[in-house]
Structure 1
Amino acid sequence: MNEKVLEIYSELNDLEMIEACGEALCELKNRRIIKTKNTVGDIGEWFVMQFYNEDLKFPNLQGMPIGTKYFDARSEDGKRYAIKTTTTKATGVFHGLNEPNCELPEEQRFEYVVIVVLHSDCLLPQEVYEISWDDFLAHRKWSNSKKAWNLTLNRQLKKEAKLVFKTNAQTV
């Protein structure tokens, strides 16, 4: 981060620092980077949209309206992308899918999952992975506490996923 900004932060008292944090969140909302109370998820979605839409190797993505179920973006050719952002090894949950041992066929809710790994301290993107619906089905794990599926970003999933982005920085 900019040394000047860090110097300013160090001179603020606790209440001023809280106020500065609020002002930063307001500015992120004004720039439409943050749209909901899910700051981490919004930052990840924003990054994916920017990255995919600026790189000709990837499809242009259009964000979906807040409240759209099952996926967060759609490509120009109609493919649906669920975007999950994490600062740990597990993604948020995927609702609306069959529970384990359900005998009904699983309705495909999206074509791809994009997993954004943010640095836990500064929320900058470290890695971005993309997997298909079939890979999602193969790697998903049931969360008993949340009664929904999620993904664990383990060695096997990383090996099978398409690495879309990896930061050059070791630490921030």
Structure 2
Amino acid sequence: MTINARLSELTDAQLIDLYPSILKELKVRGIIRTNNLIGELGEHLAANAYNSNPKLHKLQLNLKSTKNIDATSHKGERYAIKATSGNGTGVFASLPTEDDGKVYFEYLIVVRFNKDYTLDAIYELTWDQFLMYRKMKPPENKWNLPITEAVKVAAKRIV
């Protein structure tokens, strides 16, 4: 019997009650560190993809309180990681809206999920590529990155 078949036998209340248990177990296993499930899964999958590929830099996930960057390579390069199941990333809340000439991360990793939250792709963009393709997202008036065909072509596809 598959897990999906067993899940279909649960009542609505039983199914809902599984969610906190799943979050707790994901934390115990070190897969996630907060309750931001999609963002944390994206970081976990990105780090695993990089660390299991000898052609890519090894990544160490940063403390959750680190501004603008989610991981650092063994060479000291800073990586922002965004996970999405849509056509754009969430906003980059701590990046200034006006260009100040500073580089806030060397690379952006975009982990894209399908609508059923299976992994679609992992893309890597440089800071300069991020600057080229980013858009101001209303009403937040913060930067985000639309996942357009041009972005997919320009980015380095990791997975």
Question: Partner of 1:85 in structure 2?
Answer: 83
TM-score normalized by structure 1? 0.88
The residue type paired with residue 29 of structure 1 is K
Of residues 105, 113, 129 in structure 2, which corresponds to 1:110?
105
1:58-97 deviations in Å (ceiling 9; x for gaps): 1000110011000100001100000000000110111333
The residue type paired with residue 111 of structure 2 is V
Identity of aligned residues (%): 36
The 8 Å contact of residues 62 and 74 in structure 1, kept in 2 or not, is answered as: yes
The 8 Å contact of residues 113 and 119 in structure 2, kept in 1 or not, is answered as: yes
TM-score normalized by structure 2? 0.94
Count of residues in correspondence between the two structures = 159
Unaligned runs of 5+ in 2: none
Pairing 1:161–2:155 present? yes
Of residues 128, 140, 144 in structure 1, which corresponds to 2:138?
144
The residue type paired with residue 143 of structure 2 is W
1:148-170 deviations in Å (ceiling 9; x for gaps): 100000011111111110xxxxx
Give structure 1 regions of 4+ aligned residues with deviation exceeding 3 angstroms.
none
The 8 Å contact of residues 119 and 125 in structure 1, kept in 2 or not, is answered as: yes
User: Which moves more between the two structures, 78-87 or 18-27?
Assistant: 18-27
Hey, what's the Cα distance between the residues in 1 that align with 2:18 and 2:83? 24
The residue type paired with residue 75 of structure 1 is S
Secondary structure of 1:69's aligned partner: coil
Shift of residue 19, structure 1, vs aligned partner: 1.5
